[in-house]
A and B are shown apart, each in its own frame.
Chain A
Amino acid sequence: MPEFPYLPQTNKDVEEMLEVVGVKSVSELFKDIPDKFDVDISIPESKDEFSVLRDLKELSEKNITLDDLSVFRGAGVYKHFVPSVVQAIASRGEFLTAYTPYQAEVSQGTLQMLFEFQTMICELTGMEVANSSMYDGASAAAEAALMAVRVRGGQKVLVSGSLHPEYIDTIKTYCFGSDISVETVAFDSETGQVDFADLEKKLTEDTSGFVLGYPNFFGIIENISEVRTRIGEKTMLIVCADPIALGILEAPGKLGADVVVGEGQSLGNSPSFGGPGLGFFASKESYIRKMPGRIIGETKDSDGRTGYVMVLQTREQHIRRSKATSNICSNHAFNALIASIYMSMIGSDGIREIAKRSFDKAHYLAERIGRTDRVRLVFTGPFFNEFVAQFDCNLKEFNERLLEDKILGPLELERFNEEMKGYGLICTTEANLNEEIEFFAGRLEEIS
């Protein structure tokens, strides 16, 4: 018998087991499968781990990694400094190889960790309740839109045109499933913020929710409390927030948000080509029974000891089936663990410091760019750590030249919007050291 990794059965085991089962061969166990389905799948033969590692390492080396670059590109996925502790703890098999905590007594590690994660998300967002994670920011925003319809009735959702384009696409796809119409609210071409006139024009009696970014896709900080006032109480305000920005920006919950969602990759998770990160989902307590996803709660055992369990499971698909608040089952608990360790490491001062540095560097860079002739800052609205610049040159070619200098330059916004030819989205975080900023600014000045 050939040997395969991960299969422990010896020839003797197989013989003994077949005898107990009362069949002569393994193939007899497959008697229910009609012979006509017999197949020989054409996948190369098994390999030892060293050969597999060598082959895949070789493939990985065909990619240029962020570790070798100065990264001025964000747009939803960010390079940050991540303490070594994060990976060290996250590699523990007791976390990695556990299943969903259905048996609470032997899942207290998972459950307490997620309870603490929910608390951290509530702290960041200023909301009363949070679930234990979603797939990503985009699907969390889409689920929030569906929840707005569940809570408020109506069949229409508004999204800001300055929300991340992939989030808008995702919301549209989810809403197609539920026959909810989605309309896009324009952004003010001068400030980059929501165009209130267009918002008020599109806001109707049956508008269930309005989704906007904070900061938005262009890095601009929206006036949340003003938006709250404009849309009134009937329409649910869904804020899609960058968790790092919340180190300095007022919590959306304090400014009138009903639901706060977002992408948590920047909380210690590696970029990994866009996944897996995690979605977070926080809301007012009054909507808790309408929320999607798993929620962890504190309770006691029969001896009065504190413990944690999954609560309100009657909302979920395994109990409520077609009447569930969502079909979500697997979430991104492991990425929530990474985010929790990261947040525990940086602490309340750390997140502020990271946010302040990201802000400081971005504003300095924007000012330097503003002084050049052939690059123009596009929006006048206040921004956090990303901003849009218009380049009076072929941005794609410029980016190719920057790459030769080991710089991952501005994201070409033309890929999302043909009218934005020459527009680049620039990002800085605490991981851009000052010398990188100076070098990049110098390159920008050279084109002018």
Chain B
Amino acid sequence: MTIFDLSTEGRKAFHLPKEESYGYDPSDLLREDWLREKNPGLPQLSELQVIRHYTGLSEKNHSVDTGFYPLGSCTMKYNPRLNEKVAGLEGFSQIHPYQSEETVQGALEVMFNLQNSLCEITGMSNFTLQPAAGAHGELVGMLLMKKYFELRGESNRKKVIVPDSAHGTNPASAAMAGFEVVEVPSGSNGRVALNSLVEMLDEDVAGIMLTNPNTVGLFENEICEIQEAAHKKGALLYYDGANLNAIMGHARPGDMGFDIVHLNLHKTFSTPHGMGGPGSGPVGVKSFLADLLPVPVVNFDGRKFSFDYNLPNSIGKVRSFYGNFGVFLKAYAYILSMGGNGLKRASEMAVLNANYLRVKLNKLIPTAYPDICMHEFVLKGSKLVSEYEVKTLDVAKRLLDYGIHPPTVYFPLIVDEALMIEPTETETKEVLDAFADTFEKILKEAKEDPSILKAAPQKTVVGRLDEATASRKPKTRWSKGT
């Protein structure tokens, strides 16, 4: 039942302080046709009804707090409650973006310190915290490239190379900055095919977007050769930080030769995904790109923190104000809690957890690439089809019946019937063992009676939903009597 079905005319959950009106009524002072004819149809409920409705909805969700969430490339690690407490401190949550700088020195200090921490972790020289999400950071990165080449009089550089294993946001972001996207194939070892890449590099290429480790969970070990080839041709190298969780304290994108990086604070730095956001996608650059960053950036003169709007070549703003400050706080609290040593250890445990699970699952379903992986790995589900006559989707849906969120499925596109698994460092060995056991059990079910998988899930609040009809004739809002 929707909240609108619960609504009863005249019921109220909200009372303002009793105050005298000054007598300025919109209906006396505004043109009649500008006045709202009828109230917006918001629901009318009691306070307890609101509480019960949303509590009921929350119980229909799987979440990190309620169960294992091994979604590849999403880094569904534990979201520490300390971080929430920090972001909720009055001195942080109740400040206005247009207060004078003297009255928000604490906030500016957090931003300045976070900028510096991210520089140190990634080996870049300057950071902007403004982008609201990973894809937003990618857009900033691509706009920086565009502006850089425009200033150099090299507007002919219209192409951006992305691997065929890349996240969809990479080509979409490059396209939004006006670039033509060229795909470079992956080799049989799951890494960028260096020869093809070198062949593609010409004077029209603005840059290459890479994730390292890449989306199949392997480190691009020819990164030195890639960066040399790119820079020799005058192209820039862009680092998608989706997988930074694998290498913190072990290697830095800046040292690998990347010119621009974006990070996902909601992945690597433990801030919650909140059902899809808010995230935060800071962008770091090498010093030669620093004066192109969005304004403002935060500076410190040894005495006072301040906003610097004076970047003459700035690409401009990509949103209002300074970014998702509430998210910065959570990421900063995480960095302080873990420390440099703890961040390094987190990456190590993420990689250990992934390899442990890889070896256990590899006995059941082959991994797409046999090597030691980084923080995640991909299973090739084609055996499910050929041997068990079920699909990856069926296994995923059956996992739901066992209270486990399935891995990322059918991505990356280069692996047939892919299952992409990222356990993260915050899971115990027991959880990984239980997951492997469940996986084995499901395969046994598939062998004996595949219809169980095809009819899954059975234990969830709804079964498989008709997405095709929902998109053909979209009903995207509630309306009375339907």
- Bound Cα distance from A112 to B58, whole angstroms: 10
> Is there contact, CB below 8 Å, between A272 and B2?
no
- Assess the A311–B474 pair: CB atoms within 8 A: yes
- 10 further A-B contacts with Cβ under 8 Å, apart from A275-B326, A355-B26, are A6-B77, A43-B117, A47-B339, A60-B86, A273-B92, A297-B474, A299-B467, A330-B279, A337-B274, A344-B50
Report whether B339 and A43 are in contact in the complex, using a CB–CB cutoff of 8 Å.
Answer: yes
Question: Which of A345-379 touch B at CB < 8 Å?
Answer: 345-357, 359-361, 363-364, 367
Residue pair B467, A221 in contact (C-beta under 8 Å): no
Is A46 within 8 A of B466, CB to CB?
no
B177 surroundings in chain A (CB, below 8 A): 177-178
Q: Given the complex of chains A and B, what is the CA–CA distance between A249 and B33 in angstroms? A: 9
What is the total of A-B residue contacts with beta carbons within 8 Å?
A: 703
Q: Is B372 positioned at the interface, with any CB of A under 8 Å from its CB?
A: yes
Pairwise interchain contact B337-A5, C-beta atoms closer than 8 A: yes
Flag if B360 contacts A97 (CB, 8 Å).
no
Q: Is B41 a contact partner of A270 (Cβ separation < 8 A)?
A: no
What are 12 A-to-B residue pairs whose CB atoms are below 8 Å?
A46-B342, A56-B329, A63-B104, A95-B61, A106-B61, A116-B3, A166-B321, A170-B318, A329-B169, A341-B50, A356-B26, A382-B29
Contact B42 A123, beta carbon cutoff 8 Å: yes
- A18, B341: Cα distance in complex, Å: 21
The answer to whether B477 and A61 touch across the interface, beta carbons within 8 angstroms, is no
Asked if A29 is at the interface of the complex by the 8 Å CB criterion, the answer is yes
Contacts of A29 in B (CB 8 A): 348, 351-352, 355, 372
Q: How far is the CA of A209 from the CA of B323 in the complex (A)?
A: 27
Query: Which of A72-80, A183-191, A200-208, A386-394 lies on the face that meets chain B?
Result: A72-80
Q: Does A167 lie at the interface of the complex (its beta carbon under 8 Å from any beta carbon of B)? A: yes
The answer to whether A26 touches B348 (Cβ under 8 A) is yes
A7→B339 CA distance, assembly (Å): 13
How far does the alpha carbon of A26 sit from the alpha carbon of B369 in the complex, in Å?
A: 20
A92 interface hit (Cβ, 8 Å): yes
* 9-residue interface stretch from B244-252, B283-291, B440-448: B244-252
Known contacts A26-B352, A41-B344; A109/B57 CB under 8 A: yes
A residues within 8 A CB of B63? 93-98
Q: Is the CB of A116 within 8 A of B478?
A: yes
Partner-contacting stretch, out of B197-205, B265-273, B383-391: B265-273
On chain B, the residues within 8 Å of A18 by CB distance are: 352
Q: How far is the CB of A227 from chain B (nearest CB, A)?
A: 13
Q: Please measure, in the bound complex, the distance between the C-alpha atom of A8 and the C-alpha atom of B59, giving whole angstroms.
A: 26
A221 touches B34 (CB 8 A): yes
Whether B211 sits at the interface, judged by CB under 8 Å, is: no
Which residues on the B side are within 8 Å of A302 (C-beta)? Answer: 463-464, 466
A103-B406, A118-B477, A301-B462 given; A60·B60 CB < 8 A: no
Whether the Cβ atoms of A311 and B467 lie closer than 8 Å is yes
Given A98-B275, A106-B61, A170-B316, decide whether A34 and B322 contact each other with a Cβ distance below 8 A: no
Contact partners of B315 in chain A: CB under 8 A: 173, 176
Contact of B316 among A7, A41, A91, A176 (CB under 8 A): A176
Chain A 308-326 interface residues, beta-carbon cutoff 8 Å to B: 308-314, 316-324, 326
Q: Which of B26, B94, B356 lies in contact with A17, CB distance below 8 A? A: B356
Cβ of A311: which chain B residues have Cβ within 8 Å of it? 467, 470-471, 474, 476
Q: Which chain A positions have C-beta within 8 A of B405? A: 99, 103, 106
Q: How far is the CA of A64 from the CA of B318 in the complex (A)?
A: 27
Contact of A352 among B17, B39, B138, B346 (CB under 8 A): B39
Say yes or no: B96 contacts A66, CB within 8 Å: yes
Closest to A415 in B: B98
Closest 4 CB pairs of A and B: A274-B321, A60-B91, A334-B274, A93-B65
Write out, one digit per residue, whether chain B residues 93-112 have a CB within 8 A of any chain A CB (1) or not (0): 11111111001111101100
Assess the B39–A106 pair: CB atoms within 8 A: no
The answer, among B62, B324, B336, B427, for a CB contact under 8 Å with A103, is B62
Contact among B13, B252, B360, B470 with A299 in the assembled complex (CB-CB below 8 Å) = B470
Q: Is B297 at the interface (CB under 8 A from chain A)?
A: no
A348 x B476 contact (CB < 8 A) = no
In the complex, are the beta carbons of B349 and A7 less than 8 A apart?
yes
Q: What does the 1/0 interface line of B1-42 toward A look like (CB < 8 Å)? A: 011100000011110110111111110011101111101111
A247 CB–B CB distance under 8 Å? yes
Chain A residues in 8 Å Cβ range of B157: none
CB of B411 to closest CB in A, whole Å: 8
Known contacts A85-B50, A331-B277, A347-B43: A305-B463 contact under CB 8 Å: yes
CA distance in complex: A347, B66 (Å):
31
Say which residue of B21, B40, B428, B462 sits within 8 Å of A305 (CB atoms). Answer: B462
Q: List residues of chain B with CB within 8 A of the CB of A345.
A: 13-14, 45, 47, 50
* A440 CB, nearest partner CB in chain B, Å: 14
Query: Counting CB contacts under 8 A, is A446 at the interface?
Result: no
Q: Are A333 and B275 in contact (CB under 8 A)?
A: yes
**Nearest CB in chain A to that of B403: its residue:** A106
| B187 within 8 A of partner (CB) | no
Q: Let me know if B462 and A115 touch, CB within 8 A.
A: no
Interface residues of A in 97-141 (CB under 8 A from B): 97-101, 103-110, 112-116, 118-120, 122-124, 128-130, 132-133, 135-139
A303 touches B (CB below 8 Å): yes
Contact A92 B55 (CB under 8 A): yes
Give the chain A neighbours of B134 by CB distance below 8 A.
329-330
- The answer to whether A179 touches B178 (Cβ under 8 A) is yes
CB neighbours (8 Å) of A75 from chain B are 98
Chain A contacts for B278, CB-based, 8 A:
135, 275-276, 278, 330, 332, 334-335
Residue of A nearest to B174 (CB): A322
Residue of A nearest to B177 (CB): A177
Contact B98 A73 (CB under 8 A): yes
Let me know if B132 and A276 touch, CB within 8 A.
Answer: yes
- Residues of chain A lying within 8 A (CB to CB) of residue B4: 116, 119
Which residue of chain B has the shortest Cβ distance to A133 in the bound complex?
A: B277
In the complex, whether B79 has a CB less than 8 A from a CB of chain A is yes
A92 partner residues in chain B, CB cutoff 8 A: 54-55, 58
Residues of A near B336 (CB, < 8 A) are 44, 47, 52, 55-56
Chain B residues within 8 Å of A433, by CB: 17, 19
Q: Give which listed residue, A6, A173, A333, contacts B143 with CB less than 8 A.
A: A173
Task: Choose among A61, A99, A120 the residue with the greatest number of B CB atoms under 10 Å from its CB.
Answer: A99
Contacting pair A5 B338 (CB below 8 A)? yes
B365 interface residue per 8 A CB criterion? no
| Chain B positions within 8 Å of A382 at CB level | 29-31, 34
In B72-91, which residues have CB < 8 Å from any A CB? 74, 76-80, 82, 84-91
What chain A residues lie within 8 Å of B62 (beta carbons)? 98, 103, 106-107
Closest chain B CB from A398 CB (angstroms): 12
**Complex formed: what's the CA distance from A128 to B474 in Å?**
12
Give which listed residue, B14, B88, B132, B174, contacts A347 with CB less than 8 A.
B14
Q: Which of B87, B172, B247, B329 has the most CB of A within 10 A?
A: B172
Decide: A94 near B40, CB < 8 A? Known: A22-B359, A333-B276: no
B-chain residues with CB within 8 Å of residue A63 when the two chains form the complex: 91-92, 95, 99, 103-107
Report how far A135 CA is from B319 CA in the complex, Å. Answer: 8
Contact of A178 with B178 at beta-carbon distance under 8 Å, contacts A97-B273, A399-B100 already known: yes
Residue of B nearest to A341 (CB): B54
Decide: A49 and B337 in contact? CB cutoff 8 A.
Answer: yes
Q: A33-B219, A96-B63, A273-B92 are in contact. Are A170 and B40 (CB under 8 A)?
A: no
B69 sits at the interface (CB 8 A): yes
- Bound-state Cα–Cα, A208 to B460, Å: 46
Query: Taking A8-B426, A273-B92, A311-B474 as contacts, is the C-beta distance between A249 and B36 under 8 angstroms?
Result: yes
Chain A residue contacts of B234, Cβ below 8 A:
none
User: Please, which residue of chain A has its CB at the minimum distance from the CB of B221?
Assistant: A32
Contacting pair A295 B175 (CB below 8 A): no
- Given A301-B466, A313-B471, A326-B176, A250–B33 Cβ distance below 8 Å? yes
Chain B CB within 8 A of A89 CB: yes
| Residue A420 CB within 8 A of the other chain | no
CB distance from A204 to the nearest CB of B (A): 22
**Are B89 and A322 within 8 A (Cβ)?**
no
Q: Answer whether residue A405 sits at the interface, using C-beta atoms and an 8 A cutoff.
A: no
